[in-house]
Amino acid sequence: MSGERLLLLRRGGGLWGVAQAAVREVARRGRGYRVRLAGEHDLMADDVVGVVADVPVRPAGVVSRYWGEPAGGLAVHGATPLVVVDPERPPRFLRLPRSDETETSDGDDRPTDD
């Protein structure tokens, strides 16, 4: 089974993946990272693990039984299970709040001039 290239990130003690093709930018943001996606959402990460290739991603049907957020799939990296994020509908837990979008990527909290 061939797999995808995923950017792996940590948030809230869990491991998460997002298709590398959907990632436009990764930037330091205070103590964490901002992951800018091709869609309308940006993600927050405590740590960025890196990009891994050929990760088999399976359907996430079972996740919906236990978690009310959308998921793009399930995968395992090493011995660690992870949820693959749907870049069009990332879980609220990972989304950068809209009010934070005025911050600069270096973690400076001053609003930018549009």
For residue 32, give its domain range.
Answer: 4-101
Q: Are 43 and 53 in contact (CB under 8 A)?
A: no
44/33 Cα distance (integer angstroms): 6
38/42 Cα distance (integer angstroms): 9
User: Which amino acid, 108?
Assistant: D
Q: For the domain that residue 65 is a member of, what is the CATH number? A: 2.30.30.40
Total domain count for the chain?
Answer: 1
63/71 Cα distance (integer angstroms): 7
What digits encode the pLDDT tens for the residues 10-39? 999 999 999 999 999 999 999 999 999 998
Residue 109 lies inside a defined structural domain of this protein: no
The pLDDT of residue 99 is: 61
Q: Are 56 and 94 in contact (CB under 8 A)?
A: no
Q: Are 66 and 13 in contact (CB under 8 A)?
A: no
- When the pLDDT of each residue in the chain is averaged and rounded to a whole number, the result is 84
Region of poorest pLDDT, from 32-36, 103-107, 109-113? 109-113
Beta strand 80-85 with 14-19 is parallel
Q: What percent of the chain has pLDDT over 90?
A: 63
